[in-house]
Amino acid sequence: MQSSERLNLTFAALADPTRRAILARLATGEATVTELAVPFEMSQPAISKHLKVLERAGLISMDVDAQRRPRRLETKGLKEAVDWIERYREIFEQNYQRLDALLGELQAKPSRRKRTHK
């Protein structure tokens, strides 16, 4: 898979609060589908779908234990997302400092340029 494609899957997976909650739960240790479903007002198939999304993104993996299918966290998928976001974080922060400087300048010597921040 392309790096860009994996980033799509990872960020999309993280965009859902149910899935983030599942990851938070799995951070405390592995859990079965039934266990994961308990906190949510949602059917079991819905949870299974979320788990499939997380698995495709490489954020979790599955064990086989009799009729149980416990899930656990996986670092693979997250690594790349972290890398991407970290890479831009610096630039974002540099940019922020530049903006601060600019705003200071504008306050000292106002022009017709307006800033919308809605």
Closest approach, Cβ 52 to a copy of itself, in A, equals 11
**x/- map, 34-53, DNA, by CB under 7 A:** xx-----xxxxxx-xxxxxx
- Which residue has 């079991």 as its token pair? 44
Site size with DNA, rule: CB under 7 A:
26
Work out what residue 4 binds among DNA, a copy of itself, none; the CB cut-off runs from 5 to 8 Å by kind. Answer: a copy of itself
In Å, what is the CA distance from 49 to each residue of 13, 55, 82, 89?
A: 11, 10, 24, 32
Distance between CA atoms of residues 61 and 27, nearest Å:
13
Distance between CA atoms of residues 86 and 92, nearest Å:
10
**x/- map, 79-118, a copy of itself, by CB under 8 A:** --xx-xxx-xx-xxx-xx--x-------------xxxxxx
